[in-house]
Amino acid sequence: MSFKLAVETFSGRLTDSDRTLVSIILSDPSQVVFYSAHELANQGGVHASTVVRLARKLGFDGFPGMRKALQSETKVAFGPGERVRRRLSKADESSSLSMLVHTEIAAIEAIEETISQAEIDNAANILAGAKNIFIVGRGSAAPLGVHLERRLRRWGFQVSISLNMQTRDLAASLIGMGRGDALISFAFQSPDSLQAGYSALLRHSQAVGTKSIVISDSIGPTLRPNPDALLSVSRPDEAELSMRTAPLLVCEALAITLAHLSPERAVGSSEALEKLRTAFKSEED
């Protein structure tokens, strides 16, 4: 079993220390495969026994078994962690722009190692069959929600978006959510990005028959309940930088895939939009 799958399918309780370790591992597995249990523990600020307990909790034969699973699923020689280190060593340390460009390139390259087109297809199929799509987000996730909402509306989907809402207002905005609908939520390491009441929100969506999609960084596999589709992308420098370049690209890939699944709807909606724009412009002239 892969490490990521072990985390996603784990039905027990993960402590805060467990979540920290999972985030470190998923952020840069190509580096973690070289760590000892003590080195990984030091990275997470926990005791080595916590690392061993996490491995056994997830079904591995101690830390060696967990590390072996990571080795089998990680492109060690060309992993994102190694690539970003090489690029940063070549970048001009006095140039913030150069450093930023190289780290974002590494973050984008890491996408293919943490998410597959099959996972994008699964999420797109959920949206393609949805009567209504509800998007929720807060903090640094809000701009992604706005971008995705705009893309989906262009393809002719009925979208409702709720950003930076308190739980009382959020509940009121989602009261109409039901069977045949879809919910898109964002979840990132940044404390202000995870929607308040996330667990209750996912449980409610399950209860009313709404399919759920979560777009996240490495915190995604640790969230409970599990969504129907998880699009979790990790970056080697996740602890230091919080730009959303990679999740934005995933949102765009999701929108494009959805357009390919429903070409008639996408084309028809785009033509109708352009016709309406032309009508507005001619009236202004």
Residues 262 and 130 in one domain: yes
**Look-up of token digits 């690539």:** 83
- pLDDT score for 132: 95
3-state secondary structure 155-178: CCCCEEEEECCCHHHHHHHCCCCC
Residues 144 and 100 in one domain: no
Number of domains in the chain: 3
Average pLDDT over residues 92-116: 71
* Residue pLDDT, tens place only, 260-282: 887 877 777 777 878 887 888 77
Is the residue at 265 inside a domain?
Answer: yes
Residues 126 and 248 in one domain: yes
pLDDT top residue among 14 and 242: 14
Q: Which helix (H) or strand (E) holds 211?
A: strand 211-216
- In degrees rounded to 5, what are phi and psi of residue 73? -110, 5
Where among 76, 100, 128 does a domain terminate?
Answer: 76
- Which range has the worst mean pLDDT, 64-73, 83-92, 206-215? 83-92
Residues 84 and 126 in one domain: no
Residues 136 and 256 in one domain: yes
Residues 56 and 167 in one domain: no
Q: Domain range spanning residue 9?
A: 3-76
- pLDDT score for 94: 52
Residues 71 and 83 in one domain: no
Report the half-sphere exposure of 76 (CA within 13 A, side-chain side). Answer: 11
Which pTM does this prediction carry? Answer: 0.71
Is the confidence at residue 149, as pLDDT, over 70? yes
Residues 182 and 49 in one domain: no
Q: Is 90 helix (H, G, I), strand (E, B) or coil?
A: helix
Residues 177 and 208 sit within 8 Å (Cβ to Cβ): yes
Residues 35 and 143 in one domain: no
Residues 68 and 83 in one domain: no
Rounded Cα gap, residues 156 and 51, in angstroms: 48
- pLDDT score for 236: 60
Is the confidence at residue 74, as pLDDT, over 90? no
* Percentage of the chain modeled with pLDDT above 70: 85
Report the half-sphere exposure of 37 (CA within 13 A, side-chain side). Answer: 15
Nearest to 246 by CA among 160, 136, 118, 140: 140
- Model confidence at 75, pLDDT cuts 50, 70, 90, reads low
Looking at residue 161, its amino acid is I
Average pLDDT over residues 147-161: 89
- Model confidence at 127, pLDDT cuts 50, 70, 90, reads very high
Q: Which of the 8 DSSP states describes residue 220?
A: G
Rounded Cα gap, residues 24 and 234, in angstroms: 10
**Look-up of token digits 């996240």:** 216
- In degrees rounded to 5, what are phi and psi of residue 264? -65, -45
Residues 166 and 56 in one domain: no
Give me the CATH number covering residue 181: 3.40.50.10490
Residues 64 and 102 in one domain: no
* Paired tokens of 94: 């006095």
pLDDT top residue among 102 and 155: 155
Is the residue at 281 inside a domain?
Answer: no
Residues 122 and 237 sit within 8 Å (Cβ to Cβ): no
